[in-house]
Each structure stands twice: as C-alpha cells, then as structure tokens.
Amino acid sequence: MVHQLEMRTAALIVAVVAFLASPPSFAETPVTVADEVQRQVMSPFCPGRLLADCPSASASELKLEILREAERGKKADQIVAELAAKYGDEIRATPAFSGFALLAWLIPLLFLGTGALVLLWWLWRNRTDTVKEEADLCDVADYESDEP
C-alpha cells in the first residue's frame, strides 16, 4: 500500500515537472504580449481589478498604450517594469522576486516544504511501526508453534 502511494507520488511529481518545463504552445505576438501584461498588472483606475478586467476609458487608453509598446517589440517583462516605474510597484498583480516582496514567494514554499517533511516523517514512522508489528506477530506465531 505504501509502495503504491510512493509510486503515485513520484508519478505526480514527474508530471508536474514535465508540465512546468514545457515551452509555451503559442508564438508571442504583440496582442498576446499585451494580453499577458494586462493580466500581470492591477488597474490604476479600478481599485482591486486587473487591468484586463477594468472597463474604464482610462484603462482602455492604457491598454492601447501597452499594445503599442508590444508592437514596438518590447517584451512583457519590460512593459511591466515600465508600468511599475510609472505607477509604483503596487501595480504588479504578483509580488516582485526581489527585496521584501521575495518573502511572499518564499514563505509559502517554506510551509509546503515543512508539510512535505512532516508527511514523509509520518509515512516513515507508520511504515516502521507496521514492520515492527509484523515482526512481533511472526515471533508470537513462532512461540505458539514451538509449544507442545
């Protein structure tokens, strides 16, 4: 039972790694770059909404500006960096991978790693207890069969 669980876990890990390592299936066009940027930044005109979801006229102008930048050949990361410089880092929908914001990425990973270690310890401990119980049962069976 434990061996099947370990095999399933290993298969799941391999599938996730393969998925994450696969290249994107679409070519980067200015429209896809602009869409990506609009989904990576919060709207400065509609609080709490992504730029892609903001219906205001000012947001439409900013979306058009982003599309123009993409048509000039800028990558999504470059456009997001320019928007963060113009509107502040809080425009990013996800925290940056540097400075204090890096903790927003590291703390969940720390909790996931700790949880995985606790799970592995629990599985190992239960596996060890099962082996001991089976050995004890074998000893009892041997003792009972030795009596006349």
Looking at residue 97, what DSSP letter applies? Answer: S
Predicted pLDDT of residue 31: 94
Predicted pLDDT of residue 57: 94
Q: How far apart, in whole angstroms, are the C-alpha atoms of residue 84 and residue 72?
A: 19
Predicted pLDDT of residue 138: 65
**Helices marked H in 76-101 — which ranges?**
76-87
Q: How far apart, in whole angstroms, are the C-alpha atoms of residue 76 and residue 97?
A: 16
List pLDDT tens digits, range 104-116. 778 888 999 999 9
Taking residues 80-101, report their average pLDDT. 84
**Closest by CA position to 14, among listed 26, 3, 6:** 6
What CA dihedral angle connects 109, 111, 112 and 117, to 10 degrees?
120
* Contact call for residues 33 and 75 (beta carbons, < 8 A): yes
On the question of pLDDT at 12 being above 60, the answer is yes
On the question of pLDDT at 33 being above 90, the answer is yes
Residue 45 gets the label, from left (phi > 0), alpha (psi -120 to 50) or beta, of alpha
Q: Is the CATH code 1.10.8.640 the one for domain 1-94? A: yes
Predicted pLDDT of residue 132: 63
